[in-house]
Structure 1
């Protein structure tokens, strides 16, 4: 017997099979895999297929892959892990693939696996879309060539999510495991294109006599390539396909998908449950069967529900075409749910009886696929919710006095009593009950009146759990680590029950449960309510000896919170060791000014510059101060000397500077010993979750385990697979140590004005367009012959050149030539700056290029007839402070030109209520940080943020890509343009191309 499997890889269907029999001796080869379908019902469908060897990431027990469920149960012999196996497979051309997927079914010699059945579902979906005309033609670039494609019209986000969630892991097992959404889009695009080509006549247009095909207009050549087997569009040197591509893209964006009135619905009923709408019995007799009830359900109104049994009996309201809709739908569903076949042997199918194993297969396999295919699926309320997990309970040890869980006197070394339990929902499970469940060996069991899903892996993990010590005493610190590292996919940690502030800490409720601390008397300001709660939380964490991550949104006053903590300690009679604050260079002056303004009684020493103290002088200066300020660069150079000081705490502001844990700077800062640590950042995750690990490793070393373990358990499952359980486990692990408040939360701050973001679209001049095309053509010519390393460098340098062209020709040419009349961006910038200053207001203008800023500063000053301030990386600390002070205090209108790298963080520039991003950094977090120089506490006016984009250029297309991926921008879009270097040649050509609308008249 063979079980047929399929994956989508490289734009094609790859077919392989599992078989029973002798194992392959090769250690890396899948021992049961084959691509030999000789003599089977599949053989006639495989003409023209060619063989390849695929590396597939598959579930593995010990030293062999886990057999699919269709081969029967496999005795459990250890944990399951993903491992790459070499699998022989057949690659089918598009038409053969579509034919196979439309004919594949269970037979006597071949059984379709879940992954193959899912791709059959996609083939049906593609054919359905083609029949209903829910497709549109497109012209795309693939590997530098023009290709005509048909693409699906799917504008229902819920349906797309259902298809993604229903995809079996084996469908995306190639390349070490790909995101389900990417595989779905690639497979559906390919199948829809094939489905349309199978029904549209070829050629679509009559031949034009006397004219060679290659001499036809591009549009006609494209239409010809939309039918037949060859999708390539012949190219001519005169071709400019951008306009046609843009029109077709706009057509696709404007399309909408219609919805039908009725669909077939499947309802899973428990043993003993009555017909739909009646009360389910509380107890079921042994031997009762589960039922899948067939029905019709309204597409727009799901409450319209007509059971098939009532329909056949004539007891249901009359519905037009009800019988035809039901039978047609059941026939389509059969390929996704083969177990249903016996129920269709009757002329009036209305339900399918199932045993417990069949009901479990319906829950885990058929139901998600049916839902993804557009069928209605109704499951019991407990489905997917009542799962086996661990519960951790801890209480103060009465033999230890107040103990670690008391509301005061909390001590991480104090002892607590603990107990681990197995639980399903709110019910605990004892050893006898679990042993009985193990004896039954059924995946669905009834426990204390409710049904529970319990697979073999969970059961084995639970039995192993019960063999370990589950009660006793431990220190509070050990309890914290136990909670953080507890749980796994098979047996997650579902509940933590702890008393007092210890419970508040473990649950992440400490900032809300603690009594807010009053504003310290020596603070020359009045803390807001949320800041008083934050002060109580910082003092609480410090008292426990735990590090804290203060991740309040930018502009909510993180600096004053730390200054308040230092004053609070001293007002309560403590004489703590000094605090070391490690800062970006741009923040040193800001901390100095805020300490002098709000906490003048604090003794502050700045350890920076060539005249800074060293060795014993440094130790003496630090010990005579309350707060020592230094920069990340100085801390890295002087780490050994700084380590000699007995620090009470180390504070890292803009702690994303530590996000790359392996850098010399991050290692040096982590090496400075201190009693506690505070990391401060408004963007704890800029690009990837490992950045959060690096920052937490500074605040609480070892808390989240080794980096490799963190990546395996959290980063990869969350970023690559969207694993919600892993995300919840990470939130539970980090929540006790992170305080995060947002400016947009009106319960936090209600008096901050609005922020309005505006995209300013600019045209290129003819000179700019000419330079743009020449730069792009030069790069594309070189890239074809470059290796990977050279290619990456070419892409990045070209991106920089194209951005410079969009700014101004003189920026690219660096020839000192005149500025007026040669740049659409510069013309628009002049207009905006003139308007802002004319209204008596101030603006911040950010550019990532210091050389461009140096060109703009004198030019704008002359045009506006007023001074234009300019801050960049070469500005000295004193000059920087003077510029900020002048801008903030001068009542007159002004324009402040700033380098994004040098001034994008740390500064308070609330005198401005306009922000202009002249050239984009393409990282939303970096741009938001820069914007928040003006949009922060102290701002009393609405802030207008303008982002300049040259229309029809790569600036517009990269902006569109970011908008489409906004929800995942932090994990997809890297700093700067480096992420663009990984695009294919075809994708690069599409992103960087120049559209006709780019050039002004």
Structure 2
């Protein structure tokens, strides 16, 4: 790894106190920004820093970003031991086995999906499942809910275009469990799609399914349901901690009744890398420290004020995530187990009010044209135009939902 300068423990000629001498233009520039008490040495690429615990901590922060050749290693290591705060110990998720789903699960898991089930179990249901698209994150999650104790009622938060798919998968893969614990194989758990932001009693269901944009409007209603599990599909929607949907999920995840928090995403980490912190802080609060601590250790701030994960910290961040909270497999890792690609039609919602209003206009226009039609050809042409107009209206009514669907695929 390239060194950007040197770090040495020296006695200052003028004050006769022990100090830290840093050389290298980048390191000295950073010193000027974060250590006001420092002064320049014999040139603009040399800085002298008083030896205090606070300054040692700041020098370490600089070294994490711009490695320096440490010439006083024994003194540096002795000093740094006193300022390094021991981190909370998190349980490491050990080697995964092929777990078997509980009797409430209806279906067969592939071997890598059984390992995913074991991962969710060993992470106590507070995890980020980051498999590539098409590897069955939904089915692994449902298998976990069917296996772990007291996982219901569950709240599924997902993009609008995936809500119907969640309801289908629940009906396909889960059996109903009666109140006395008996499995009713012919039936499936109860679920409800929440499609309005209007406050109202939601009733009692095993699954509540809602899209991100409605969540904050129904926060009070959802807070009363004694939710046990929160599943955030396409959890990258929560990458900004300043949004209403993030605040809503954060509040729900902090409820005393919530025991399990699962995030699903094929693309959890974006270009800057720092977007992973808000996601992890919901699933496993404190794992990456506060946002300030996370940025101090893993990031630098660019000219636009955005926190960017350092190149030399990306590997250690990935390792930290995989050890404690994240499981990611690519299709190339499990290619031998995958079945032939299955294609299915995705039903898209539409703006019914717009469609019916346009349909009314089309019928009125058709009636007027039929009255003034002179020849059979005129009548036929009028019907043909009405049919084309109806198809166009149906397409336009679906546009907002299609855009949402395409955005979801692209992300």
TM-score of the aligned structures, taking structure 2 as reference length? 0.64
2:189 aligned with 1:603: yes
2: CA distance between counterparts of 1:905 and 1:72? 50
Deviation at 1:710, TM superposition (A): 1.4
2:324 aligned with 1:736: yes
Deviation digits for residues 212-261 of structure 1, max 9, x if unmatched? Answer: xxxxxxxxxxxxxxxxxxxxxxxxxxxxxxxxxxxxxxxxxxxxxxxxxx
The alignment partner of 1:702 has SS state of coil
1: CA distance between counterparts of 2:37 and 2:266? 46
2: CA distance between counterparts of 1:703 and 1:870? 50
The alignment partner of 1:647 has SS state of coil
Specify whether residues 748 and 699 from structure 1 end up closer, same or farther in structure 2 by C-alpha distance, changes over 3 A only.
farther
Deviation at 1:560, TM superposition (A): 0.9
Give 1:461's aligned residue: 80
Give 1:86's aligned residue: none
Q: Which residue, out of 333, 338, 353, partners 1:745? A: 333
The alignment partner of 1:690 has SS state of coil
Deviation digits for residues 629-649 of structure 1, max 9, x if unmatched? Answer: 111122110112211121111
2: CA distance between counterparts of 1:747 and 1:873? 39
Give 1:140's aligned residue: none
Deviation digits for residues 404-440 of structure 1, max 9, x if unmatched? Answer: xxxxxxxxxxxxxxxxxxxxxxxxxxxxxxxxxxxxx
Deviation at 1:706, TM superposition (A): 1.8
2:88 aligned with 1:482: yes
2:132 aligned with 1:553: yes
Question: Are 1:580 and 1:649, in contact at CA under 8 Å, matched by a contact in 2?
Answer: yes
2:161 aligned with 1:586: yes
Deviation digits for residues 31-55 of structure 1, max 9, x if unmatched? Answer: x9xxxxxxxxxxxxxxxxxxxxxx9
Q: How does 1:305-384 map to 2 (within 5 A)?
A: 364=69
2:235 aligned with 1:655: yes
Q: CA RMSD in A?
A: 4.7
Question: Are 2:126 and 2:284, in contact at CA under 8 Å, matched by a contact in 1?
Answer: yes
1: CA distance between counterparts of 2:216 and 2:287? 23
- Larger RCO: Structure 1 or Structure 2 (Cα < 8 Å, ≥ 6 residues apart)? 2
Question: Are 2:151 and 2:229, in contact at CA under 8 Å, matched by a contact in 1?
Answer: no
2: CA distance between counterparts of 1:558 and 1:694? 21
Question: Are 2:152 and 2:207, in contact at CA under 8 Å, matched by a contact in 1?
Answer: no
2:20 aligned with 1:517: no
TM-score of the aligned structures, taking structure 1 as reference length? 0.28
- Higher fraction of strand: 1
Gaps of 5+ in 2: 6-11, 16-21, 23-27, 177-187, 302-306, 347-390
Specify whether residues 625 and 752 from structure 1 end up closer, same or farther in structure 2 by C-alpha distance, changes over 3 A only.
same
Question: Are 2:151 and 2:260, in contact at CA under 8 Å, matched by a contact in 1?
Answer: no
Give 2:120's aligned residue: 538
Specify whether residues 727 and 75 from structure 1 end up closer, same or farther in structure 2 by C-alpha distance, changes over 3 A only.
same
Q: How does 1:559-578 map to 2 (within 5 A)?
A: 559-569=138-148, 574-578=149-153
1: CA distance between counterparts of 2:344 and 2:209? 31
1: CA distance between counterparts of 2:76 and 2:35? 11
The alignment partner of 1:555 has SS state of coil
Specify whether residues 66 and 483 from structure 1 end up closer, same or farther in structure 2 by C-alpha distance, changes over 3 A only.
farther
Q: Which residue, out of 265, 276, 292, partners 1:681? A: 265
Deviation digits for residues 616-639 of structure 1, max 9, x if unmatched? Answer: x32xx2xx3222111112211011
2: CA distance between counterparts of 1:669 and 1:604? 22
2: CA distance between counterparts of 1:523 and 1:612? 34
Deviation at 1:604, TM superposition (A): 3.0
Q: Which residue, out of 17, 28, 31, partners 1:58? A: 31
Question: Are 1:581 and 1:630, in contact at CA under 8 Å, matched by a contact in 2?
Answer: yes
Deviation digits for residues 932-987 of structure 1, max 9, x if unmatched? Answer: xxxxxxxxxxxxxxxxxxxxxxxxxxxxxxxxxxxxxxxxxxxxxxxxxxxxxxxx
Deviation at 1:64, TM superposition (A): 1.0
Q: Which residue, out of 266, 270, 278, partners 1:694? A: 278
Deviation at 1:74, TM superposition (A): 7.3
Question: Are 2:120 and 2:126, in contact at CA under 8 Å, matched by a contact in 1?
Answer: no
Question: Are 2:150 and 2:228, in contact at CA under 8 Å, matched by a contact in 1?
Answer: no
Q: How does 1:760-775 map to 2 (within 5 A)?
A: none
2: CA distance between counterparts of 1:667 and 1:72? 43
Specify whether residues 651 and 560 from structure 1 end up closer, same or farther in structure 2 by C-alpha distance, changes over 3 A only.
same
Deviation digits for residues 156-191 of structure 1, max 9, x if unmatched? Answer: xxxxxxxxxxxxx99xxxxxx9x99xxxxxxxxxxx
Specify whether residues 463 and 716 from structure 1 end up closer, same or farther in structure 2 by C-alpha distance, changes over 3 A only.
closer
Question: Are 2:194 and 2:208, in contact at CA under 8 Å, matched by a contact in 1?
Answer: no
Question: Are 1:548 and 1:677, in contact at CA under 8 Å, matched by a contact in 2?
Answer: yes
The alignment partner of 1:679 has SS state of strand
1: CA distance between counterparts of 2:136 and 2:225? 28
The alignment partner of 2:99 has SS state of coil
Gaps of 5+ in 1: 1-5, 8-19, 24-31, 33-54, 84-168, 171-176, 181-360, 366-441, 444-453, 471-480, 485-504, 754-840, 845-867, 881-897, 907-925, 930-1001
